Structures are given as C-alpha cells and as structure tokens.
C-alpha cells in the first residue's frame, strides 16, 4: 500500500436491520483525494445484493422506522460549515426530505416506537451568538467563565448547546421542533423507552462537570411533564432500554475511575445491578468505535453486545441473569451489529488484518459475508504475524509485518495512543503503508492498553514519574522479542513512532534508549505542567494517571513529563502536530521542538492547519496523504 492508495478502500459501518429481518442499511465511506473530502452514502442489502441507497456525499446514521416504510438518516453536503440535518426517505427509494434546520446541525436521530416522531439531538447557538453573522462571530471576543469551553473535533462549546428535540417525521407541516431539554448543557446518546412516553439520554449537569468526566443518565417525559435521573454521576458511555422497558447503562460508576473496564448495568429499583462485571472486559471498545454503540436488545430480555478482548472485538449474548454466550469471535474487530428481535439472526460489520471492512450475516450459528467491497484491495495487503511475549508477569500481544522478500529491512516500532486503547486484529492503513514502503513494522499492546482487564489496564497509573515505568519496559521488551524472532529486522536500523500517548512514550523512550536512528513523535503529551491548563481534558487526565496533585505542587507533573528528560534525546526526530488539536494542544509539540533545536538535534516540525487530534484517522484526505509522505521521507533519510 502507498499513500495515494488511501482512496482505494471503503470503510463499512453502522448496520441497521430492517423490521422485515432481511434488509440491512449500512454506511460506506471512502476518501476522495481529488476533492479532498470523504464520500459517505448509505447502502442496503436487500436479501440478494448490496447497492447504494443514497447518493451522499455525506449520509450517515441510518435508522429504519418501526413499520419499515421509511429510513431516517443524517445528511450533509460534505462542504465545510454545512452541518448534517435529519433526512427521511421512503424505504423503496426516491427523494429524501430534510426535516430539520438546526443552526449547527443534528447529531443523532431515533424513531419513536409509534413511528410518527423522531427524537433528535440538535445543536443551536447560545444566547448572544445566534444573531451574529459568520464574520462577526469570528471577530467576537469570547468571555469564558468555566472550563470545558472547547473539545477536540468539536471546537468551541461555550457558544452552543446540544439539546433533545422532538421532530415530526413527515416534515410536511414544517412544525417547529419541540425542545425537551434546556440550559447550558450538552446532551447525547438518546434511546426511546418502548412505551414511547419517555426518552433516555446522557448529560453532565453537576457543577464540577468541566473538571471531571462525570455524566448522568436521564429519562425525559415526552409530554413535557418532567425528568428523572436514572443514575448518579459516573462515567457513563451508553444508556438503553430492554424490550420490557427496563433501563440499562454502560460505563464506570466512579467518576474518577478511569482507566477502568466498563460494565453493563441494569437500572433496578434498588440501584445499579452489574451484568458483565465478571467478564473484566469492556462492552464499549474505545477504538475503533462500535456503531451502533451499546447492547442490541432481544425479546427474551437478552442482548447482543460487542466485547473488547486481547486485540479482538467479538460479539456475545448477555442473558438477564448475567450469564453470557459467545456468538461471533475470531481474529477480527467487529465494528457494529444489529439483531432480529427474536435473536435468530443478526447483521454485523467487521474488519480483519488485511480487509478494511465488510458486512456479514449470522444465522443459526453460521456466518456468511454479504459484501465484497474491499476484496481486490485486500488481496494486495500484507498479513501481519501475531505472537505473545511474556514480560514481567504479563502477556503482551505483538504484531510484526514484513515486506516481501528475504533481505534485511529497517524496523519501525509503533506505539498506539490512549494508553487505554489497543492495537488489534483489524485493518490499519499505517502498518500497510510502512510495510509497503519496505519497512518491517513492530507493534504491541503494553500494560496500560485495554482489552486485557482492569489490572493490566491500570498498571502504569502512578508510575510515570519513574525513569523507566512498566509500559516503557513492555514496549522495549516487545521490540527485543521481535528482533530475536525475525532475523530480517535490522537491529542497526531502528525507527520509533507514535501518536498521542504514542508520542508521549516515543519521547520517553528516546531519552532512555539511544538505539534508534529515526523518530516520529506525533500529537503527543510532552509537558503535563502546561497540559493541565490547555488540553480539553487537562483538569482530569493527569489526576487519573498521576493521582490527585495539590494546587501549586508541580513536581509530580514535571517528573511525569517527557520534557523533563527531553535534553537527553539525540535521535533525529520529526514532530507532527495539528494546529487545532484541543486534546494535546500544539504548544506541546512546540515545547519539544524548542528543546531539541536548542540541543542541536536533527529535528523538524510539520504543522497541519485547522486540523484536530484525529487528523491521522479522520482528517482531510490530502493531509492524511501528506502526513504519510512526510513520515516516509523522514525515515527514508535516516534509515534508508
């Protein structure tokens, strides 16, 4: 694979099974390098073939009406500053009717059980901003009175609100949406109660909401008679109802519990009842996201749900008593599922190490692939080899990709973000591009990664002030094992790279180990001392990994920062950073760049305008291509 092959493959996501139990709507996304846009449209499997159902260019979030006569979805023009709105289209095809016109678009849509009304998360301007034109908004000074005023990939938050609205699905009467929530809050994650009398959602309304990760699940009566909290303040990621009307949530009860394994809870009369705590695995994998998220409920009270497990994402059934059954496993990442109410069959999307994704069908224990969108492309991909390394009492998953041939190759050690995410058995364009350029690729899940349970996940907590914390040692142990196992990997030509936490750990390793001849540090956290005030998660992330730090005490923040050791780095380093990164603001990369320049290190910094922390996964296609070209150029200069 080459950088200009980014437009050759499709991503498949968000399957939605029709009430007839046969047809499946799903989203197909491609990168268009010529127009520098993503092309997203909704496809339908009709029982025999799959075909495009909408023309795009930016259609997502398909949801069938309860009677199956219509499809609601989010539609955008694909142009900057033209947000998504809700559209409704007949199941037989035809023209779609756009039924909303929110200032800043719609983010979610779900049909009422009666099929007449849509619950929509609409985004509108806050008071004082709605009457300004675009030019005046750009020049308007921003008066900030609380933290949480911006968020990565979203941008400003203090000037807008995300509320729950009821919208007439017909759109014929042009009835104004009915707002069911208000205030200076943001809402999301909507789910209808089966009787149609209420909608559940997630929102943070407590005074400390900008300083912690807390949310609550709320139930809102659709007749406007009131609302009630379904949970206390916790780290909730999903709320839903089973078919009998019992609410369930997925997340972590302790608002400061991250990093931790999320659990599926039943909301009972006496409080929360855990259903999956004994699995020690999360039903909401952090990356890649599973869409639709959360459990898919069946008539017998059980649910179908994804489960993150040791580099894989599989599907299980959770019964009402908490017992579980494996239904769809294997070396792959399931990215979405939608089930028949009786549980006899379900559709799902999945990616493998060489295939970016296809739509699949499961019935009576048998699987079959319904699409072949990436078959030709996948045939040219390199199959990684997976093995396990035992180190310091832990089992570490490692993957190695080798280009064709028998000659020795330079090796690139890759470190993932998070750290509470995982590399896994899914397609990753980065590895294929590097192997396609002739490099050996080494990747691993050190302790601190997700998918291996709570103890594995929390190993680095409180340890980053050490010179050689356990996750650093794990990464190097995985590299040493790969060099021993694969003689083609040239130990004299080693590169190292990573983004976010991977950038953090790249800088930490460069200061502790001088064997690397080339490095790429991307969108990293390099200085906790400034990160606490500039990052959108600055007030909470350091506490979760370093512990509670008294005001004015910066020693712990500094000792845990790669900047405290950056003067020891001598490896030629390319720093990649996005100028609109609100997660690890660009000042982080600027600090590292300044120190390396002052110390005479061979260093360059590449800045991407108007791009977020997610550039490598969701940024403009042209920037993603240029990023690959810059990385290959840098390693080529220093590794050959």
Q: Concatenate the DSSP letters of all residues of 187-226 into one string.
A: EEEEEE-TTSSEEEEEE--STTTTTS--BEEEEEETTSS-
346-385 exposure pattern, b = at least 16 Cβ within 10 A, e = fewer: bbbbbbbbbbbbbbbbbeeeeeeebbebbeebbeebbebe
Question: What are the structure tokens assigned to 16, written together?
Answer: 């939605």
Residue pointed to by tokens 């976010």? 500
Instruction: Give CA separation, 49 vs 21, 28, 90, 345, in Å.
Output: 15, 15, 19, 18
Instruction: Give CA separation, 343 vs 113, 303, 336, 338, in Å.
Output: 19, 9, 16, 10
Question: What are the structure tokens assigned to 239, written together?
Answer: 């709320």
How far apart are alpha carbons 175 and 198 in whole angstroms? Answer: 20
Residues of the chain short of pLDDT 70, as ranges, are: 172-174
Q: What's the confidence (pLDDT) of residue 80? A: 80
Q: What's the confidence (pLDDT) of residue 78? A: 82
Q: What's the confidence (pLDDT) of residue 172? A: 61
Q: What's the confidence (pLDDT) of residue 173? A: 53
| Predicted TM-score (pTM) above 0.85 | yes
Q: What's the confidence (pLDDT) of residue 185? A: 93
Class of the CATH domain delimited by 382-639: alpha beta
Per-domain residue ranges of the chain: 9-183, 382-639
Class of the CATH domain delimited by 9-183: mainly beta
**31-73 pLDDT tens trace:** 999 999 999 999 999 999 999 999 999 999 999 999 999 999 9
Q: What's the confidence (pLDDT) of residue 27? A: 98
Same fold, 9-183 and 382-639: no
Quick check: helix, strand or coil at residue 356? coil
How far apart are alpha carbons 528 and 535 in whole angstroms? Answer: 10
What is the distance between the terminal CA atoms of the chain, rounded to a whole angstrom? 18
Q: What's the confidence (pLDDT) of residue 81? A: 81
HSE at residue 508, side-chain half, CA atoms within 13 A, is 31
Q: What's the confidence (pLDDT) of residue 167? A: 96
């Amino acid at each position: 694979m080459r950088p200009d092959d980014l437009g050759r493959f499709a991503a498949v996501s968000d399957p939605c099974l029709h009430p007839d139990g046969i047809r499946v709507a799903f989203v197909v996304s491609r990168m268009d390098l010529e127009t520098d846009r993503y092309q997203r449209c909704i496809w339908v499997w009709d029982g025999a073939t799959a075909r495009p159902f909408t023309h795009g260019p930016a259609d997502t979030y398909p949801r069938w009406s309860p009677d199956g006569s219509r499809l609601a979805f989010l539609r955008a023009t694909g142009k900057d500053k033209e947000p998504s709105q809700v559209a409704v289209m007949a199941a037989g095809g035809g023209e779609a009717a756009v039924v909303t016109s929110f200032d800043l678009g719609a983010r979610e849509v779900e049909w009422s059980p009666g099929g007449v009304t849509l619950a929509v998360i609409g985004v509108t301007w806050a008071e004082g901003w709605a009457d300004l034109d675009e030019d005046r908004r750009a020049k308007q000074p921003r008066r900030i009175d609380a933290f949480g005023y911006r968020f990565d990939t979203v941008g400003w938050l203090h000037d807008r609100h995300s509320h729950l609205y009821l919208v007439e699905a017909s759109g014929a009467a042009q009835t104004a949406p009915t707002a069911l929530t208000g205030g200076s809050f943001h809402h999301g994650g909507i789910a209808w109660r089966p009787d149609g009398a209420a909608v559940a959602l997630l929102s943070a309304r407590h005074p400390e909401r900008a300083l912690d990760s807390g949310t609550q699940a709320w139930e809102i009566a659709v007749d406007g008679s009131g609302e009630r909290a379904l949970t206390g303040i916790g780290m909730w990621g999903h709320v839903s109802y089973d078919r009998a009307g019992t609410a369930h949530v997925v997340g972590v009860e302790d608002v400061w519990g991250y990093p931790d394994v999320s659990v599926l809870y039943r909301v009972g009369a006496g409080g929360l009842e855990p259903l999956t705590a004994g699995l020690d695995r999360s039903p909401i994998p952090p990356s890649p996201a599973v869409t639709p998220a959360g459990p898919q409920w069946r008539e017998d009270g059980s649910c179908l749900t994804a489960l993150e497990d040791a580099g894989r994402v599989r599907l299980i059934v959770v019964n009402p008593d908490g017992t579980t059954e494996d239904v769809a496993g294997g070396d792959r990442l399931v990215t979405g599922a939608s089930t028949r109410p009786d549980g006899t069959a379900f559709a799902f999307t999945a990616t493998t190490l060489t295939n970016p994704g296809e739509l699949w069908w499961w019935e009576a224990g048998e699987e079959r692939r319904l699409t072949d969108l990436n078959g030709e492309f996948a045939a040219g991909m390199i199959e990684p080899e997976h093995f396990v390394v035992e180190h310091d009492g832990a089992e570490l998953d490692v993957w190695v990709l080798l280009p064709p041939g028998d000659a020795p190759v330079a090796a690139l050690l890759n470190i993932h973000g998070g750290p509470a995410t995982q590399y896994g058995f899914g397609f990753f364009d980065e590895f294929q591009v590097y192997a396609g350029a002739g490099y050996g690729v080494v990747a691993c899940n050190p302790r601190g990664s997700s998918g291996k349970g709570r103890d594995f996940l929390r190993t680095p907590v409180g340890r980053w002030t050490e010179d050689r914390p356990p996750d650093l040692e794990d990464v190097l142990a995985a590299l040493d094992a790969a060099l021993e196992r694969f003689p083609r990997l040239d130990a004299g030509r080693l590169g190292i790279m990573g983004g976010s936490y991977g950038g953090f750990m790249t800088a930490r390793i460069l200061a502790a180990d001088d064997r690397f001849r080339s490095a790429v540090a991307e969108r990293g956290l390099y200085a906790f001392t400034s990160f606490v005030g500039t990052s959108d998660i600055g007030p909470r992330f350091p506490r979760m990994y370093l512990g509670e730090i008294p005001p004015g005490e910066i020693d712990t923040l500094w000792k845990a920062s790669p900047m405290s050791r950056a003067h020891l780095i001598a490896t030629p380093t390319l720093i990649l950073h996005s100028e609109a990164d609100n997660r690890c603001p660009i000042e982080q990369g600027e600090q590292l760049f300044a120190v390396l320049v002052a110390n005479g290190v061979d260093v360059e910094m590449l800045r991407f305008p108007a791009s977020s922390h997610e550039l490598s996964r969701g940024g403009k296609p042209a920037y993603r291509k240029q990023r690959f070209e810059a990385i290959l150029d840098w390693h080529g200069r220093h590794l050959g």
